[in-house]
A and B are shown apart, each in its own frame.
Chain A
Amino acid sequence: MSEQPTLEINALSAGYGRFDVVRDVALSVGKGEAVALLGPNGAGKTTVLRAIMGLVKQRRGLIRIGGTDVSALPTHRIARGLAAIAPEGRRLFLDQSVEDNLLLGALHLRHDKARTQTLLASVYDLFPVLKAYRQRLSSFLSGGEQQMVAIGRMLMSDPEIMLLDEPSVALSPVAVDIVVKAMLELRKRGASLLLVEQRTDVATRVCDRLYVMTHGEIVDEMKPETIRSGGMSILNKYLG
């Protein structure tokens, strides 16, 4: 019997209204592992992340984080140290400063000042530019800097599993490189990541395993090596 995975999803169906956007999804992320969810627009990747956070009202199936069944927990309970998300579009609190955004990420640790300060220092260590801009309103940052704040805010809750939704989207090549390096650094620190990506190159640089999703279902699972050694054509078949 191997070690229990950090994130375990089984037979997950989730959606909005009368439609299930994702059907019968099963995936797992081990401790310290980084896993990518690849697929075209509308495949349901974001919905999987939202279902893990409890942001999709309608969900069935099993979602376990670090052994805790979260499939019936409300979002704010899941967000207290189990899972944290750097969402699509970053969704910073734009009328607040960089540091306030980060501190809000550590909301459930508000009584543990020492741990909050340690986490804050580790975020500034990962993204030194944020320390320089810490008093600045987050709406005045560039896209790349905002993405750093979003990732930092996710780190601040010290979660078991970190969910990143297309952190490379709409960023300059330089900013994408910074984000990729940050994710690699997080891996070194032992974080478990579930990354939703459309860019295969980003996913293969960061992750140990990749799931391919189309039309709301997981259709394949592969290793980055497979893709590097010519599996790209297989992938292109799915991604269209």
Chain B
Amino acid sequence: MLQFVLSGVAIGSIYGLIGMALAISFYVTRIINFAQGELMMVTVMVTAELASSGYPVWLAALAGLACSCIVGILSYVIAVRPILLSNRFSFGWLVSTLGFAVIVENAAAYIWGPTSQAFPPILNGISLPIGGAVLTAQQLLAIVTAAVLAAGFEIVRRYTLFGKLGMATAADPEMASAIGANTTIVAIVAFAISAIYAGIAGLLIGPSTFANPYLGDTFGTYGFIAMMIGGGTERPIAAMFGGLLLGVCAEGANALINSQASDWFPFIVLVLILIVSPKGLFSTSNPLFRPRRVAVTRG
């Protein structure tokens, strides 16, 4: 029991990070970047390549994140912006971001070959007994990193001018530009941040999956589910809660039903949750999370 909850939380925080990555770019631009999983894969591949050619792991990881960041910005400039410019309400980005994903994935397969390569273990070799269960230090690192990044995002969003500007752009992009915001820059920064979140998820999962150019598909899908069940379309941090729930469900299904159950069980959970709370479990469509009046401070 404890074992699957803990490993569920560990894998869930990675789903949650990818879910948040999707949600951050969606929050500001109302675009689902279907290349998000591939942005994660870019970090994994570049890091694996540089680490195997002898660079220190931290440097390889930083370079990997930088590459994801660049590809993330490119995905906005190439696949999103031209479409929004011609019609802000069009759905052309559905196809263009998916196309961008296919191109990035196949480029990676062309460069590195379609098979898995070694990925530096980072902290995967260290085992930590917790109660009756065992967690690797890498899993613990994933949980801690996800918590820090989720909380950090929320702090920036609520308490910094840039965060407030992001909220303003999310709510009304035209009015945001009418108060002097360069909404293109805001969108590019959002895509860069979400690429970094996805890349960090890749660094956390890389030691267990190894470096494979097709990694993005699976994790992109799970990230998408995390965002949808959490309600990340409204508040990016809700995608993290969704990810944790998804992780525990998937690991629980594996442990309690059979070893293949994680392939279908989470989807049933997704459908059930969306029937009950259509915008996700932690959204305002759930009566528990309706906004309430805040206290008035006088003076």
Which of A26-34, A90-98, A209-217 is the interface stretch?
A90-98
Chain A residues with CB below 8 A from B161, complex form: 103-104, 107, 110
Check A157 against B180 for contact (C-beta < 8 Å).
Answer: yes
* Cβ contact within 8 Å between B167 and A95: yes
- Any chain B CB within 8 A of the CB of A144? no
Contact stretch, chosen from B15-23, B136-144, B288-296 = B288-296
Is B181 among interface residues, defined by CB-CB distance under 8 A?
yes
Determine if B164 and A136 form an interchain contact, defined as CB atoms under 8 angstroms apart. Answer: no
Report the separation of the CA atoms of residues A158 and B167 in the bound assembly, to the nearest whole angstrom: 23
Main secondary structure of the interface of B (DSSP, over half): loop
Q: In the complex, A93 Cα to B179 Cα: how many Å?
A: 11
The answer on a CB contact under 8 Å between B179 and A79 is yes
Is A140 an interface residue when CB atoms closer than 8 A count as contact? yes
Question: Of the 9-residue stretches B113-121, B170-178, B204-212, which lies at the interface with chain A?
Answer: B170-178
User: Smallest CB–CB gap between B232 and chain A, Å?
Assistant: 16
How many Å lie between the Cα of A84 and that of B167 in the bound state?
Answer: 20
A91 touches B172 (CB 8 A): yes
| B259 neighbours in A (Cβ, 8 Å) | none
Shortest beta-carbon distance from A82 to chain B in Å = 10
The complex places the Cα of A76 from the Cα of B174 at a distance, in Å, of 10
Contact between B299 and A87 (Cβ–Cβ < 8 Å)?
A: no
Q: Which residues of A contact B258 (CB under 8 A)?
A: none
Give every chain B residue within 8 A of A132 (Cβ-Cβ): 296-299
- Bound together, the chains give a CA A85 to CA B294 distance in angstroms of 28
**Chain B residues in 8 Å Cβ range of A95:** 167, 171
Q: Please tell me if the beta carbons of A104 and B179 are within 8 angstroms of each other in the complex.
A: yes
Pair B177/A79 contact, Cβ less than 8 Å: yes
A135 adjacent to chain B (CB < 8 Å): yes
Interface size class for chain A? 20 to 34
Return the CB mask of A105-131 against B: 1 if under 8 Å, else 0: 101101000000000000000000001
A79 touches B165 (CB 8 A): no
Q: Is B68 an interface residue (CB 8 A)?
A: no
| B175 and A80 contact, CB distance less than 8 A | no
User: B182 within 8 Å of A by Cβ?
Assistant: yes
Q: Is B171 a contact of A79 with CB atoms below 8 Å?
A: no
Judge whether A75 and B171 touch: CB under 8 Å.
Answer: no
- Rounded to whole Å, the gap between the CB of B175 and the closest CB of chain A is 5
Question: B172 near A93 (CB under 8 angstroms)?
Answer: yes
Give per-residue flags for A64-93: 1 if the beta carbon is below 8 A from chain B beta carbons, else 0. 000000000011100110001101000101
Q: Say whether A135 contacts B178, CB under 8 Å.
A: no
How many angstroms from the CA of A37 to the CA of B96 in the assembled complex?
44
> Would you call A157 and B171 a contact (CB within 8 A)?
no
Partner of B175 from the list A91, A100, A140 (CB cut-off 8 Å) is: A91
A74 to B185 CA separation, bound complex (whole angstroms): 13
Partner of A136, one of B167, B178, B182, B296: B296
CB <8 Å contact, B291 and A137:
yes
Q: Which residues of B lie under 8 Å from residue A53 when comparing CB positions? A: 178
Chain A residues near B167 (CB, 8 Å)? 93, 95-96
Contact residues in B for A94 (Cβ distance below 8 Å): 171
Judge if A55 is at the interface, Cβ distance under 8 Å. Answer: yes
Select which of A74, A105, A131, A140 is within 8 A of B293 by beta carbon. A140
Check if A104 sits within 8 Å of B165, measured CB to CB. yes
Given contacts A91-B172, A96-B164, A107-B165, contact A76 B297 (CB under 8 A): no
Binding site for B on A (CB under 8 A): 53, 55, 74-76, 79-80, 84-85, 87, 91, 93-96, 100, 103-105, 107-108, 110, 131-137, 139-140, 153, 157
Contact residues of B with A, CB < 8 Å? 161, 164-165, 167-168, 171-172, 174-175, 177-183, 291, 293-299
Q: Show 22 residue pairs from A and B whose CB-CB distance is below 8 angstroms, ordered by the A residue.
A: A76-B183, A79-B179, A80-B180, A84-B179, A91-B172, A93-B168, A93-B171, A93-B172, A94-B171, A95-B171, A96-B167, A100-B164, A104-B165, A104-B179, A105-B179, A131-B299, A132-B298, A134-B297, A136-B294, A137-B291, A139-B291, A140-B293
Closest 6 CB pairs of A and B: A79-B180, A75-B177, A107-B180, A108-B180, A91-B175, A93-B168
